[in-house]
Amino acid sequence: MKKIIKLTAALAMALALVFAFTACGGSDEEKEAAAVKTVTEGELHMATNAAFPPYEMTSDDGGFEGIDVEIAEAIAKKLDLKLVVDDMDFTSVITSVQSGKEDIAMAGLTVNEERKKNVDFTETYAKGVQSIIVTEDSDIKKPADLKGKKIGCQDGTTGYIYCSEDFGDKNVTSYNNGATAVQALIGGKVDAVVIDNNPAKEFVKSNKGLKLLDTAYAEEDYAIGINKDSKDLYEAVNGALKELKEDGTVDKIVDKYIKAE
Ligand code: ARG
């Protein structure tokens, strides 16, 4: 008899719980996951250019890895979505989100006024520093020395924009990605490459005869770009990113890829 009473009590409690749950429509997190609309149901499509280590690059098994990829994976998980990485030219990253083909633009993407007209940016999650790579024997010692020199940049990047403004269009050659710009420097076609500092460090590490100048050229913030009409998705992604920053996940991911010197 005692057993039966215990059982009914447990049942009643369980029922009460179910009621309370349905009455308030589930937890906030669940509501978020159920409501958020993406380009393909159940998936979060990330537009990127995966030649930008340590933020995004191809992995040995043919997939993608890097800081942005792992942060996006953690965001997708929170929203109960499957992350799909779509690799493309850097110049298509923002336009593909703007035209509604992709959900998020995440590519070590610098926030600037021009881009803010085309997409909404989340909170920032990392800092970027435009840096200068030269050959070891170069006479270029500081940003001002770039005057009159041939500069290589990745097409459509802030590095390209600053250099063409500061040193003139005709002195800047744009390349499809950072690695090809670096090959041009090694081949003597340009005198310097201007690119974000962490990719720059990776390129210097993996190629002989190059060095990074100590003086930074410009400092900037990285954030995720989202279609201006996707307000729900914006709230969901920004909210998830905020949580991942607060609970230390973002720091942990950054530390995994960028070892302190
Ligand atoms: N931070 C620079 C910019 O936003 C360069 C980004 C390049 N990113 C890439 N995944 N290739 O313009």
> Which CATH number is 53's domain given?
3.40.190.10
**What is the count of structural domains for the chain?**
2
Please tell me the pTM assigned to this model: 0.86
C-beta 53 within 6 A of ligand 1? no
Q: Is residue 241 part of a domain?
A: yes
Same-domain check for residues 136 and 163: yes
Closest of 154, 153, 150, 129 to residue 138, by C-alpha: 150
* pLDDT tier for residue 216 given thresholds of 50, 70 and 90: confident
Same-domain check for residues 140 and 206: yes
Same-domain check for residues 79 and 160: no
Q: Is residue 10 part of a domain?
A: no
Q: Is residue 213 part of a domain?
A: yes
* Residue in 46, 52, 57, 203 to alter for ligand 1 test, most ligand atoms within 8 A of Cβ: 52
Same-domain check for residues 146 and 183: yes
Q: What is the pLDDT of residue 8?
A: 53
- The pLDDT tens digits for 21-58 are 444 444 554 444 456 999 999 999 999 999 999 999 99
Residues in the chain, overall count = 261
Cα angle 135-139-145, degrees, rounded to a multiple of 5? 110
- Cα(126)–Cα(185) distance, rounded to whole angstroms? 27
Same-domain check for residues 149 and 208: yes
Q: What is the pLDDT of residue 6?
A: 55
Per the structure block, which two tokens stand in for 190?
Answer: 């340009």
DSSP secondary structure code for residue 101 in this structure: S
Domain extent for 194: 129-220
* pLDDT tier for residue 259 given thresholds of 50, 70 and 90: confident
Q: Is residue 23 part of a domain?
A: no
Same-domain check for residues 169 and 104: no
Same-domain check for residues 138 and 92: no
Same-domain check for residues 98 and 144: no
Q: Of all atoms in ligand 1, which is nearest to the CA of residue 158?
A: 12
Q: Is residue 152 part of a domain?
A: yes
